[in-house]
Amino acid sequence: MPTDPAYDYALRPPRLPDPEDRSLDDAPIDQETRLALYRKLQELRQWSKRAHDLFLQNLVKGTTHLSLGMEAIATGFGMALKPGDYTFATYRGHAHSLARGMDPGKALAELLGRENGVLGGKGGSMHLTDVEKGMMGSYAIIGAHLCIANGAAWSAKMRGTDQVAVAFFGDGTTNIGAFHEALNMAVIWKLPVVFVCENNLYMEYTPIDAITAVPNPAADRAGAYGLDPIIIDGNDPDAVYLAAVDALERARRGDGPSLIEAVTYRTGGHSRADPAKYRPEAEVEAWKDRDPVPVYHQRLLRIGVPEAELGDITREVAATIDAATEFAKAGAHPGEETLMTEVWADGGSAWRN
Amino acid sequence: MPTDPAYDYALRPPRLPDPEDRSLDDAPIDQETRLALYRKLQELRQWSKRAHDLFLQNLVKGTTHLSLGMEAIATGFGMALKPGDYTFATYRGHAHSLARGMDPGKALAELLGRENGVLGGKGGSMHLTDVEKGMMGSYAIIGAHLCIANGAAWSAKMRGTDQVAVAFFGDGTTNIGAFHEALNMAVIWKLPVVFVCENNLYMEYTPIDAITAVPNPAADRAGAYGLDPIIIDGNDPDAVYLAAVDALERARRGDGPSLIEAVTYRTGGHSRADPAKYRPEAEVEAWKDRDPVPVYHQRLLRIGVPEAELGDITREVAATIDAATEFAKAGAHPGEETLMTEVWADGGSAWRN
Amino acid sequence: MAELSYRDAVAYGIAQEMRRDPALVMLGEDIAAAGGVFKTTVGLVEEFGPDRVRDTPISEQAILGAAMGAAMTGIPVIAEIMFSDFLAVCWDMIANEIAKSRYMTNGQVSFPLVIRTANGGGARFGAQHSQSVENWAMMIPGLKVVAPSTPEDVVGLMAASIRDPDPVIFFEHKSLMAGKAEVPDGEIVDELGTARVVREGSDVTIAALALMVPRALEAADRLAENGISAEVIDVRSLVPLDTATLLSSTAKTGRFFTVEENPRLCGWGAELVSIISEEAFWNLDGPCVRITTPHIPLPSAASLEDLALPSVDRIVETVTRSVDGGGSA
Amino acid sequence: MAELSYRDAVAYGIAQEMRRDPALVMLGEDIAAAGGVFKTTVGLVEEFGPDRVRDTPISEQAILGAAMGAAMTGIPVIAEIMFSDFLAVCWDMIANEIAKSRYMTNGQVSFPLVIRTANGGGARFGAQHSQSVENWAMMIPGLKVVAPSTPEDVVGLMAASIRDPDPVIFFEHKSLMAGKAEVPDGEIVDELGTARVVREGSDVTIAALALMVPRALEAADRLAENGISAEVIDVRSLVPLDTATLLSSTAKTGRFFTVEENPRLCGWGAELVSIISEEAFWNLDGPCVRITTPHIPLPSAASLEDLALPSVDRIVETVTRSVDGGGSA
Ligand SMILES: Cc1ncc(C[n+]2csc(CCOP(=O)(O)OP(=O)(O)O)c2C)c(N)n1
Ligand SMILES: Cc1ncc(C[n+]2csc(CCOP(=O)(O)OP(=O)(O)O)c2C)c(N)n1
Ligand SMILES: [Mg+2]
Ligand SMILES: [Mg+2]
């Protein structure tokens, strides 16, 4: 897993990743790891598409925020994280949950509001959590979880473990106050935490440049906390993996936090309600060429992986997702007996005698 | 009032202002303005000392936060601001209020909780406000007023006036989320607002370096908003005045906000309750030499102002402060008839029929 | 007379006021070109331009700070906080700054300011996007609090809130958005602090708000079948509160119920019950009973959320049981 | 048996628990070397070191985020928010994150977490540093809420709060800090959710909290002189709430009063009155009456603040008038 620290995975200007760029083909990542990355990428992609299908069948009742197009970030980090590490995600947290090993069936069941969902139907799409897997929660109000990730990192430090906490968040999140408070505290306490900004160029429906004082919403703020600016191609699982390994190592060494801006793009709308019409067609087209799945597929072919092997992986994942779908659909709708449970640690919700 | 834009008033490292530095003696500020600065400085100093005396006499009941040692900042800005401009201050807002022309008697009366106080006793020491004078309030919860100053600046812009809003705040305030939100919005909306960080090296009782990720809490964050870092000697009324004139001009020209870090020191404790024992004695001693009143006094002598003239000013101010004290002490304690007024714009407080 | 959805009534009401007062401005996240995430501001930027209908970053403190600073310097403002749950990230601006500054300055400043926000459950959005927080606002002195239940009330109370010189928190209910109703032509301006008797009755008084109003009305129909005549009051405005209407109805019926979506403890119903049970004590023929969401965070699954929010069934059962037996909820 | 001030009892109670549980940590602004702005944490950094008693920047969201993240990963935490008014700047962390996350995750995480904060008026600090906001906390499902009135209760309820696996908001009253009382030797551990009858009586029940408890007791003395026998209950814990004690006292006296420092609307008293007037309705001999701070921001001047907060005189007058005439507050 250790990579060549001198290897340069940083995104060079212009900010738009170049699909023709071959420079990471010879990155110091072994083939086994790359195949695992590909499998994970497929899993996140196929799961997200399935979730989308289930909306269209009107089986998902609330809102949902997919990571279609952005899966390389969760993939690269998921591969680099160790079992004890902590992940903190946003409402757009499905990919990050699956990347930590959350059961895809239980995740889908949660979207469907079923008893066999990972949260028994209490949390829903925006709050996927699986503490056993280190997935410490998906948080639906912008900003807070960066501060909470600090707490988990602080706890690891106090307990003397080498765990690292990673918080994923969007470009739009860099403009809320909690971002600033979290970064400052992480640095002064030298916490083992990695802040990963998934810059998909939009805060909901508004282009990030229109509402941000600097062009790179995260990287251009790094200096305000004495951190290095790091910008990577968020659509390249290898670039993400290398950056993740470095930042996690740094944290484990006791050298404190990192702030990584991973540039990416979402293929679909912000949430299920959004047809994403506000984006220039040329921009959408340009990013289609950078879709991480075909781009990574091409890289694997270039470095000599047989097409058939990739096809097998794709089909194996498809079978998993089908099984997960069946599992989810078979779940019962939770009832009265769970409504009032788990407000308190005693399992109940009594506020009076 | 326009100054030589090329004139360099920025504080050079080391950060501690040098009392032996003569470089601002020949700053492009006419003598009349300087005498006015001296008078204002005396007024703020003598008023603050009087407020302190009134505590000791147990006439001030709540808490109070004085600017003793820090008055040059309010002085310099007070001189540079135009009548329509807006000042937003913190709980440590006495000097800023007086610098905008608040009646010193009404200000003292407010500290004494009297009916003739500038807020009728409703607000108290931490909330001095005089809208007619452009003193838009003193805010006692850290951070909010930077955002509110933006609003006043936005309003000026919408109304097409050339008013500027200035927000004063401490070094400790740079670590709260609202600071970040305010700076970003001011820049993207190009608001006519000036953010002035009074860096007195302490957040209450904790040294600012111990809890801040960068050495200059404001200036080192300027880049996060595409702003220039500006650090000035906050104990030098001339340096402050020059920086203020520049920043106000920039704002009036439509070139947007500035962030100024004025390095200073408070002579006394954080609030009346604080003996300020947590500061190294050598540090306190070093800053005594930089007290703005004697330092500025010396400059005026050096540039040829007769000592007697300065003595006259000092005595005139003393007489004003004495009169203000009498006015304040003579005020009645507010009673039942004002308790329930002015919650609503109709003057009352009815929440039901 | 035109049919308007509750959703469209929001932009309709705002447009009426923006046409009338050229100084009035609006700001919030995704409210301009996107028309708001609930599509409640569609068409406004097209008519009034991006200087008057302004998109912001995700900076709720900065949004309300800008609104407050503008209002106190003479510009009337409408600020949108997308979901009412997010009032928590700017609660200092609301509870400590906007609500208190007039009093603290002894009347030197006014805040012609409306904070609009999408409130309430039923959309299966989970605990952080479904709260009914009208009680948060009611408990802060210095805020007026409004929650309309019909398209016409959206328009009329919006106008009243905008014209009011004090800060108003205006709760738009997510689960009422799609509902349509006739709205009269011409200018509509309602009055804050006025409740409305939406159904007359003689046996019990039921006070409800927002989404709970149609449920209370439906329950009243069913109660009538059971021989219980329910008077239903749409409270509409929590501050100012129309206690006169509540008290006189209770004087007539002798029984008082609330139907509340906010969680149980310290809800607006507790305040109303306290007023009734103090001031109409001698008129009461039985206990005042609150029908509320239980004191739990809201669950996301449809089946659970439906159990949590007061339902027509629960209203009918509770009122019936209480009238029959004098018992509790 | 030692005499301890309420202020010193805070550090005393924390130290008891930090000695017992080496994992327990604390964080907040100026709590270490400075000993806290109310001097409630004096001596702790000296005994337990700066890693366990940690100064922070002015970053309340980061403070509570750190506390939450630590608690959910196995480290029990005490976080100080200097003044309870500042809960507003981190209200999202409290109301939306800490309070809801256990339920949302169906019990996957616990929050052994105490948020201590200085609450209440009487210090002439003005509207932004004097609020009683215990009702803010009470209305959020998922929070426990405690407000002791004596040094012994500070120690015992602090221990109970720290040992409780759920998040507790612990309100320390600014105007009780200087008061001293005997505190027994040895470990003191109290129980959440238990009110205390601090004076027995037969004519009226008076429920009070924190600073209002000594005032209610003094009022009871004066009422006794007027021939009214008042039972005074120190509510101590708003969540869980000891309704049994409140209901049984009211069953005995037939009259229920609250003395509340929070502003009037949706105060904790409204909740108590609603419970009593529903469940003890047939026991009541007259209306329940709340004696509260009026619904205004708190003024700073001593003369005004004294008028605003419930005084002994006001309690005596209100109870007397009500018992005599059955009238209102
Ligand atoms: C405090 C807060 N404000 C507003 C929202 C509504 N909201 C949800 S997602 C979102 C956009 C977030 O943009 P970004 O951080 O770039 O993440 P992305 O959705 O693009 O992944 C907004 C404004 C929220 N959830 N929380
Ligand atoms: C949100 C908030 N947190 C904490 C406080 C308590 N407090 C009052 S002044 C102060 C220190 C402020 O330091 P700084 O910004 O440097 O200003 P200074 O007092 O030094 O002028 C603190 C922590 C507050 N008023 N508001
Ligand atoms: Mg984004
Ligand atoms: Mg300071």
Contact B186, B167 (CB under 8 A): no
Token pair for D237: 């814990």
User: D68 and chain C: CB distance < 8 Å anywhere?
Assistant: no
Contact B191, B153 (CB under 8 A): yes
Contact C233, C245 (CB under 8 A): yes
Q: Which domain holds residue C315?
A: 196-323
In the three-class reduction of DSSP (H, G, I as helix; E, B as strand; rest coil), residue D261 is classed as strand
> What is the rounded average pLDDT for all residues in chain B?
95
The confidence band for D1, taking pLDDT boundaries of 50, 70 and 90, is confident
Distance B172 CA to ligand 2 centre (A): 6
Contact A105, C282 (CB under 8 A): no
Does the global pTM surpass 0.90?
A: yes
Q: What is the pLDDT of residues A73-95, one digit of tens each?
A: 999 999 999 999 999 999 999 99
Distance C126 CA to ligand 2 centre (A): 36
The confidence band for B12, taking pLDDT boundaries of 50, 70 and 90, is low
Q: What is the pLDDT of residues D234-276, one digit of tens each?
A: 999 999 999 999 999 999 999 999 999 999 999 999 999 999 9
What pLDDT does A4 receive? 52
Q: What is the pLDDT of residues B159-190, one digit of tens each?
A: 999 999 999 999 999 999 999 999 999 999 99
Token pair for B118: 């500038």
Q: Pick from B101, B119, B192: which is nearest to B149 by CA?
A: B192
What span, in angstroms and rounded, lies between the C-alpha atoms of D72 and D59? Answer: 20
Q: Does position B125 have pLDDT exceeding 70, yes or no?
A: yes
Q: What is the pLDDT of residues D186-228, one digit of tens each?
A: 999 999 999 999 999 999 999 999 999 999 999 999 999 999 9
* A271 CB neighbour count, 10 Å cutoff: 18
Shared domain for D220 and D307, answered yes or no, is: yes
What span, in angstroms and rounded, lies between the C-alpha atoms of B66 and A149? Answer: 38
Query: Does the residue D329 lie in any domain?
Result: no
Q: Does position D313 have pLDDT exceeding 80, yes or no?
A: yes
What span, in angstroms and rounded, lies between the C-alpha atoms of B266 and D97? Answer: 38
Task: Return the exposure string of B130-143: e unless at least 16 CB atoms fall within 10 Å of the residue's CB, then b.
Answer: beebbbbbbbbbbb
- C60 ligand 1 Cβ < 6 A: yes
Query: Does the residue C8 lie in any domain?
Result: yes
Contact B113 D30 (CB under 8 A): no
What span, in angstroms and rounded, lies between the C-alpha atoms of B211 and B175? Answer: 8
Q: What is the mean pLDDT of residues A146-163?
A: 98
Contact B344 C68 (CB under 8 A): no
Share of chain D above pLDDT 70, in %: 99
Q: Does position B352 have pLDDT exceeding 60, yes or no?
A: yes
Task: Return the exposure string of C279-315: e unless at least 16 CB atoms fall within 10 Å of the residue's CB, then b.
Answer: bbbebbebbbbbbbbbbbbbbbbbbbbebbbbbbebb
Shared domain for D124 and D229, answered yes or no, is: no
Q: What is the pLDDT of residues B222-260, one digit of tens each?
A: 999 999 999 999 999 999 999 999 999 999 999 999 999
Instruction: Tell me the shortest Cα–Cα distance from D147 to chain C, in angstroms.
Output: 17
DSSP states of B82-135 as a string? -TT-EEEEESS-HHHHHHTT--HHHHHHHHTT-TTSTTTTSS-GGG--BGGGTE
Shared domain for C123 and C175, answered yes or no, is: yes
What pLDDT does A265 receive? 95
Token pair for D300: 């700073």
Q: What is the mean pLDDT of residues D132-153?
A: 98
C-alpha distances out from residue A42 to A68, A72, A316, A319, C147, Å: 11, 10, 10, 12, 47
Contact B177 A175 (CB under 8 A): no
What pLDDT does A275 receive? 85
Task: Return the exposure string of A9-20: e unless at least 16 CB atoms fall within 10 Å of the residue's CB, then b.
Answer: bbbeeeebbebe
Query: Does the residue C190 lie in any domain?
Result: no
Q: What is the largest CA-CA distance in chain B?
A: 69
Query: Does the residue C191 lie in any domain?
Result: no
- Closest-CA residue, ligand 1 atom 22, reads A204
Shared domain for D179 and D37, answered yes or no, is: yes
C-alpha distances out from residue B148 to A133, B89, C71, D318, Å: 44, 11, 10, 42
In the three-class reduction of DSSP (H, G, I as helix; E, B as strand; rest coil), residue D28 is classed as strand
CATH of the domain at C6: 3.40.50.970
Q: Which residues pair with B327 in a beta bridge?
A: none
What span, in angstroms and rounded, lies between the C-alpha atoms of A162 and A157? Answer: 7
Q: Pick from A204, A228, A254: which is nearest to A63 by CA?
A: A204
What span, in angstroms and rounded, lies between the C-alpha atoms of A247 and A224? Answer: 18
The confidence band for A12, taking pLDDT boundaries of 50, 70 and 90, is low
| Cis status, amide bond into D240, omega within 30 of 0 | yes
CATH of the domain at D300: 3.40.50.920
* C135 CB neighbour count, 10 Å cutoff: 25
Task: Return the exposure string of A102-131: e unless at least 16 CB atoms fall within 10 Å of the residue's CB, then b.
Answer: bbbbbbbbbbbbbbbbbbbbbbbbbbbbbe
pLDDT (tens, 9 = 90+) of chain C, 329 residues, equals 899 999 999 999 999 999 999 999 999 999 999 999 999 999 999 999 999 999 999 999 999 999 999 999 999 999 999 999 999 999 999 999 999 999 999 999 999 999 999 999 999 999 999 999 999 999 999 999 999 999 999 999 999 999 999 999 999 999 999 999 999 999 999 999 999 999 999 999 999 999 999 999 999 999 999 999 999 999 999 999 999 999 999 999 999 999 999 999 999 999 999 999 999 999 999 999 999 999 999 999 999 999 999 999 999 999 999 999 854 44
Shared domain for C212 and C178, answered yes or no, is: no
What pLDDT does A5 receive? 46
Shared domain for D15 and D122, answered yes or no, is: yes
Q: Which residues pair with B352 in a beta bridge?
A: C241
Distance C18 CA to ligand 1 centre (A): 28
What span, in angstroms and rounded, lies between the C-alpha atoms of D63 and D84? Answer: 14
What span, in angstroms and rounded, lies between the C-alpha atoms of B293 and A164? Answer: 52
User: C262 and chain D: CB distance < 8 Å anywhere?
Assistant: yes
Torsion of CA A183, A188, A192, A197, to 10 degrees: 10
Q: Does position B15 have pLDDT exceeding 80, yes or no?
A: no
Q: What is the pLDDT of residues D3-51, one digit of tens each?
A: 999 999 999 999 999 999 999 999 999 999 999 999 999 999 999 999 9
The confidence band for D284, taking pLDDT boundaries of 50, 70 and 90, is very high
Could you confirm whether D173 is annotated as catalytic? no
Decide which of C183, C215, C234 is a domain's last residue.
C183
Token pair for D94: 């409290």
Shared domain for C32 and C159, answered yes or no, is: yes
Q: Pick from C73, C78, C88: which is nearest to C56 by CA?
A: C78
What pLDDT does C329 receive? 44
Query: Does the residue D190 lie in any domain?
Result: no
Q: Does position A14 have pLDDT exceeding 90, yes or no?
A: no
Shared domain for C247 and C116, answered yes or no, is: no
Query: Does the residue D275 lie in any domain?
Result: yes
| Cis status, amide bond into C240, omega within 30 of 0 | yes
What span, in angstroms and rounded, lies between the C-alpha atoms of C315 and C259? Answer: 7
Higher-scoring residue by pLDDT: A175, B6: A175
DSSP states of D64-89 as a string? HHHHHHHHTTT--EEEEEEEGGGGGG
Q: Pick from B98, B69, B38: which is nearest to B237 by CA?
A: B38
Contact A292, A69 (CB under 8 A): yes
Share of chain D above pLDDT 90, in %: 98
The residues on B that touch D, with CB distances below 8 Å, are 61-63, 113-114, 117, 119-127, 139-143, 172-173, 175-178, 203-206, 210-212, 273, 278, 333-336, 338-340, 343, 349, 351
Contact C210, C120 (CB under 8 A): yes
- Going along A22-175, which residue ranges are E strands? 86-90, 135-139, 165-170
Could you confirm whether D129 is annotated as catalytic? yes
Q: What residue ranges line ligand 2, CB within 6 angstroms?
A: B 92, 140-142, 169-173, 198, 200, 202-204, 270; D 29, 58, 60, 82, 86, 89
Determine whether B249 is exposed, middle or buried from the number of CB atoms within 10 Å of its CB (0-12, 13-18, 19+): middle
What CATH code would you report for A31-331?
3.40.50.970
Q: What is the mean pLDDT of residues A119-146?
A: 98
What span, in angstroms and rounded, lies between the C-alpha atoms of D26 and A298? Answer: 52
Contact C300, C126 (CB under 8 A): yes
Q: Does position D61 have pLDDT exceeding 90, yes or no?
A: yes
Token pair for D205: 């029940």
Shared domain for C153 and C232, answered yes or no, is: no
> What is the rounded average pLDDT for all residues in chain D?
97
Helix (H) or strand (E) holding D231: strand D230-234
* B105 CB neighbour count, 10 Å cutoff: 24
What pLDDT does A274 receive? 86
Q: How many domains does chain C have?
A: 2
What span, in angstroms and rounded, lies between the C-alpha atoms of C216 and C223? Answer: 10
Q: Does position A2 have pLDDT exceeding 80, yes or no?
A: no
Decide which of C155, C183, C211 is a domain's last residue.
C183
Contact C205, C272 (CB under 8 A): no
What pLDDT does C299 receive? 98
Q: Pick from A191, A260, A180: which is nearest to A219 by CA?
A: A260
Instruction: Tell me the shortest Cα–Cα distance from A5 to chain D, in angstroms.
Output: 31
Q: Where are the domains of chain B?
A: 31-331
What pLDDT does B5 receive? 46
Give B131's contacts in chain C (Cβ within 8 Å).
Answer: 105, 108-109
Shared domain for D113 and D230, answered yes or no, is: no
D interface test, pick of A115, A118, A136, A148 with most D CB neighbours within 10 Å: A148
Task: Return the exposure string of B192-205: e unless at least 16 CB atoms fall within 10 Å of the residue's CB, then b.
Answer: bbbbbbbbbbbbbb
Q: D46 CB contacts (<8 Å, ≥6 apart)?
A: none
